Chains A and B, each alone.
Chain A
Amino acid sequence: MMAGSNEINANEAKKVVPLHTWILISNFKLAYNMLRRPDGTFNRELAEFLDRKVVANTVPVDGVYSFDVVDRATSLLNRIYRCAPPENESTRQLGAGIIELEKPLSTTEIVPVILFFHGGSFTHSSANSAIYDTFCRRLTGLIQGVVVSVNYRRSPEHRYPCAYEDGWEALKWVHSRSWLLSGKDSKVHVYLAGDSSGGNIAHHVAHRAATSGLKVLGNILLHPLFGGEERTESEKKLDGKYFVKLQDRDWYWRAFLPEGEDRDHPACNIFGPRGSNLAGVNFPKSLVVVAGLDLVQDWQLAYVEGLQIAGQNVKLLFLEKATIGFYFLPNNDHFYTLMEEMKNFVTPSPSPSPSPSPSPVCS
């Protein structure tokens, strides 16, 4: 009985998330249900109307300010988040951003730059969506560095490989900004990060970077979006239980992948039958965060395993009782665990690079 099982599922989700999270994620779930059309098209107008956006703000709030830059060559918008400089005579007089753009981040210390790809299953949200603006501000304050949030082109209007191309362009753009240089070696110390589809994009951009010789110091993948044709245990077990239905996931893949393709496409199924071999590739170290109540977790765990088999440096952060979107609100343990892990991940370690064997952390 549809209604009955729905009530059970609502109760399941309610037991494991705080009230605010339940409201927020349920709101998205219901809104998104209305936006996806059965014929595979997407109600972009209503989506843009409903999406809560915020403008950039050069006045620091909680020590972080932001500004938008449009890359003229690609028309892509990037939102830059930086920490407010310590107050002194010269910075107080003129606009915060003006001074900073003239100089590198630091000539002595290494300042991490995170190139962030927002989630939304390749379809929803923007760099200036309120939830992502808030998240990026927190991240910036956490790492005491710079976050660059990319407004990549979304499906179904722009399918594979548009998002990856936009990510690649953004990485090149970041690497070519003199005002993002830091450290005695005067380089841009960039990490890639993303949640959901953003995590998927981060992987592909990192792969391209590795084969093109562009340096990425690490990948942070927050319940990244991977999949495959096979139905895994977690997909069957958790279908519809915690805000997400398997058929929704299918819709988003159909909207993103080239028409006629299936979910074993290498964009989706990284280490699947059509996947690539990453052995010997100079792939950055990865922090992969898996939410234990995310139905996609088997694919994420398979990804971690695939990286391990290829001899890559990967750390798994498995958060058993976390649902998708746990990191939007600072009202749960998982949020704070995640913040701690991310901070450590981008803090330059005093000793030489860690051993390639993975060290999974479960909580």
Chain B
Amino acid sequence: MGPYDSSISAAAGCSSSSSSACSSSTKPPQPPDQMDHLLAGAGYKVRSNDLHQVAERLEHLENVMVKSSPVEISELVHDAVHYNPTDLASWVDSLLTELNTNPPVPVAVPTDIPDLHPFPANINVYSNNPPPLNNEFSQQVTTPLEEDVSIRLVHVLMTCAEAVQRGDLPLASLLIDDLQTLLGRVNSGCGIGKVGSFFIDALSRRIVNSPQNSVVQEELSAYENEMLYHHYYEACPYLKFAHFTANQAILEAFDGQDCVHVIDFNLMQGLQWPALIQALALRPGGPPLLRLTGIGPPSPDGRDSLREIGLKLAELARSVNVRFAFRGVAASRLEDVKSWMLQVSPKEAIAINSIMQLHKLLGPSQSIDVVLEWIHDLNPRILMVVEQDSNHNQSQFLDRFTEALYYYSTMFDSLDACTSQPEKTLAELYIQREICNVVCCEGLARVERHELLVTWRDRLRNAGFVPLHLGSNAFKQARMLLTLFSADGYCIEENEGCLTLGWHSRPLIAASAWQAVPKSSAAMGPINRPS
């Protein structure tokens, strides 16, 4: 038992909520991977058995910092890259390493490696259960009457969705009429008026198509798809954040590699790749040989749009002296892609880049497992995953509807701040298609099956991947990216080695990086990038 004041903690009421508050020596030892409950409430994950060790290291760190010169401290702060502050023990150790000091030899060397168990079920700190909609939606000051109508609108939307879930379609239809009336009384140019109208529209379509329940969204032409995507890309930072953060992580993963191969799960217009090509061109020691395999839907009109994008990127690569080769893989669905189609070579370093694609594999065929398995077998140096951070895949329609309503309201809030047209309107239409898919469609047609970051973490770990933590350098760069967007509410946060981009306090997009480990070995801890 250490020198800490145990008398106070033992004398405290030891209320039932925190059994680990009383650190008396008679308490039985915790199971090795038990996370301390008290520090968890402060946002830190420390194993109960490691508490004394962490305290020792903190003390050691303080002694070292006191002895260091201001220059050393300033260097420590300026140059050191921090990772995953939630893991307090490793953060302290990394600082000790930065200051070129060995941490004190622990009394007992842990024989098991910290496993990343999910948070105890009663602490929901990282779940994204959405905030209830409120009346604070219009840009202008709302009158009390308008506020009331906004609240009413949300209430009726929910009641309508609930009626749909119950199958009470006559009631639902009546409520749609109510909703249209209410809509007429709010400012439909922004806030709840705008996003509300999209949800009302989606609900109507679902009602009209019941009981066949077979809403299929109309296909857009390739041109229309590109238009919407491109304006969404410009109007708000979500895609740029995804590309930017992914490129940084990929660049680091390719450090020291001469032959690299990026596999893009959804090439679209290839907007992500010029920046990476240029970054590789400027790499100290020179660029590697870069192969890019772009996956995308087959072009209906005889064009080979994948090849066209590839040619443009090849042109750019040539202009900056990067040896470059492109292959397009046409597939209507990601699950149709097999790894042999990617023609990977054993000596190349592979990066898998999935920007908002993996969730499409969570449908009835559950092809996610098959796909993660062949990704794993490719042994990529990095699997980059960017996904919408929300649970739009719940089996209960009302739950899904509620989460989507909050999620997209927040996203629309952020768009409110964008003023340039036609970017804003077309971006809204891009988002509307997502909303429609989540609300109207079922079965194979429903591809927008977003899940929370915590869920993806579990799934990827179970599939044999470990996190490659995104650190304070990536965080800082992402924040700089935001300065290009005038709206003041965008927010980058660090979440246990992942980065999220959100609006005010609500994360909307989560970026995480992963590396494959041999499945047969014991679960391993996370990997911090070399600084």
A residues sitting closer than 8 Å to B (CB atoms) are 2-3, 6-7, 10-11, 14-20, 22-24, 26-27, 29-30, 33-35, 37-38, 43, 45-46, 48-50, 52-59, 61-62, 66-73, 75, 77, 79, 93-102, 127-131, 133-134, 178, 321, 328-333, 335-336
Contact = CB atoms under 8 A, between A and B. Distances in A.
Contacts of B472: 45-46, 49
A331 B38 contact: yes
A24 B76 contact: no
Contact of A49 (B17, B128, B475, B507): B475
Contacts, number: 240
B17 A75 contact: no
A95 B21 contact: no
B85 interface: yes
Interface of B: 2-6, 8-9, 11-13, 15, 17-18, 20-23, 36, 38-39, 41-44, 46, 51-52, 54-55, 58-59, 61-63, 65-67, 70, 73-74, 76-77, 82, 85-86, 88, 92, 95, 122-139, 141-142, 144, 151, 154-155, 158-159, 162, 398, 402, 413, 472, 475-476, 479, 488-489, 492-494, 504-507
Contacts of B20: 20
A195 B5 CA distance: 24
A58 B39 contact: no
B133 A131 contact: no
A278 to B, nearest CB: 34
Contacts of B141: 72-73
Query: Which residue, A53, A56, A96, has most C-beta atoms of chain B within 10 A?
Result: A53
Given A20-B51, A22-B4, A58-B129, A330 B62 contact: no
Nearest to A129: B43
B144 to A, nearest CB: 8
Nearest to B55: A23
Contact of A332 (B9, B131, B132, B489): B9
Contacts of B46: 23
A101 B151 CA distance: 8
A18 to B, nearest CB: 4
Contact of A330 (B17, B58, B73): B17
Contacts of A27: 44, 58, 88, 92
A188 to B, nearest CB: 15
24 contacts: A14-B5, A16-B5, A17-B8, A20-B23, A26-B58, A30-B58, A48-B475, A49-B85, A53-B505, A62-B17, A72-B136, A72-B137, A79-B505, A94-B155, A94-B158, A96-B132, A97-B132, A100-B132, A101-B132, A101-B151, A129-B43, A131-B43, A321-B8, A331-B21
Contact of A46 (B4, B82, B142, B413): B82
B132 A55 contact: no
Nearest to A131: B42
